[in-house]
Amino acid sequence: MTTTKPFVIVTRKLPDAIETRMMELFDVRLNLDDTPMSRVDLASAMQEADVLVPTVTDRIDNELIAEAGERLKLIASFGTGVDNIDLDAANKRSIMVTNTPGVLTEDTADMTMALILAAPRRLAEGERLIRSGEWGGWTPTFMLGHRIWGKRLGIIGMGRIGQAVARRARGFGLSVHYHNRRRVHAEIERELEATYWESLDQMLARMDIVSVNCPHTPATYHLLSRRRLQLLKNDAYLVNTSRGEVIDETALTQLLTEGAIAGAGLDVYENEPAVSPKLLALDNVVLQPHMGSATIEGRIDMGEKVIINIKTFVDGHNPPDRIIETMF
């Protein structure tokens, strides 16, 4: 890295305030029209840049990293998840990777709680009915959903977001349960009144609502496989605001179609932006376009973290959000 301003390439449009600050600090190339970079464009950017600022939609695999220019020393990702980046390949090329953890916790937990409410209470169905103009008025047995007060919520992944979901869930009278790679500290369990399940299978079989809040890693790919999804009660609901790859979406769609699972609330998909037509056709699913972290405040906070990571790295120090390993 030279003593001059680093050359930073940003792959997508960021909030104006963040782009302005980047222009003040760095020699930066912005993506003003927000057109997604093709693989060729991404490879070219990695040849030129000192620092690349990608987003979760940019797939930076081993092949791209192997062809990166000698100048590229930092991939400062605009996002929390780094499953789109081959971390091993980056490490072998001595390219540091950073992300933006923590700032999206409350926003994602809000969306998770919204879906926990929306799916059992059939909110999306009701909204579609009103817009169709076919609502005939209230009756005692019309659009009956399920109460969530007193139900069991099973959280998969008790990190920052999982804990934030648990705090919200307690306010709605849910009994909090969780499965995690490692049991959380006893003080956190007491605060959240959370019950730990070492066996994911046993927890799934006993929950009324399951929320997926773990990252996508090789260890969590299809963590909720067909076999595990079949453990859910037929009146259970599944919510996912993490990554679509954690769930076998084909199996989930089939079980929802058959009524083997009561419903789902999904903000992420296995092959997004493509969503299965079979999933789109289901009335018992609330679908959102990966907007769990989509708040103005959150996006600005993410951008500020990116700037801090770049500035710290350029100054010769370890960035605060350097990726070492991922787990749940």
Q: Which of 48, 189, 191, 272 is catalytic?
A: 272
- Rounded distance, CA 204 to CA 197, Å? 10
- Rounded distance, CA 155 to CA 135, Å? 36
Is 290 catalytic? The answer is yes
Instruction: Of 43, 36, 35, 79, give the one whose Cα is nearest residue 62.
Output: 43
Q: Are 254 and 229 in contact (CB under 8 A)?
A: no
Tell me the CA distances in angstroms from 58 to 29, 122, 237, 238, one per residue in order: 16, 34, 31, 27
Q: Are 164 and 109 in contact (CB under 8 A)?
A: yes
Tell me the CA distances in angstroms from 102 to 43, 162, 163, 267, 314, one per residue in order: 29, 12, 12, 19, 23
Instruction: Of 127, 85, 81, 126, give the one whose Cα is nearest residue 108.
Output: 81
Strand partners, 294: none
Instruction: Of 94, 35, 36, give the one whose Cα is nearest residue 69.
Output: 94
Q: Read off the amino acid at residue 226.
A: R
Q: Which of 243, 249, 270, 299 is catalytic?
A: 243
Q: Read off the amino acid at residue 146.
A: H
Order of all β-strands in the sheet with 27-29: 27-29, 7-10, 51-53, 74-76, 96-98
> Which residues does the annotation mark as catalytic?
243, 272, 290
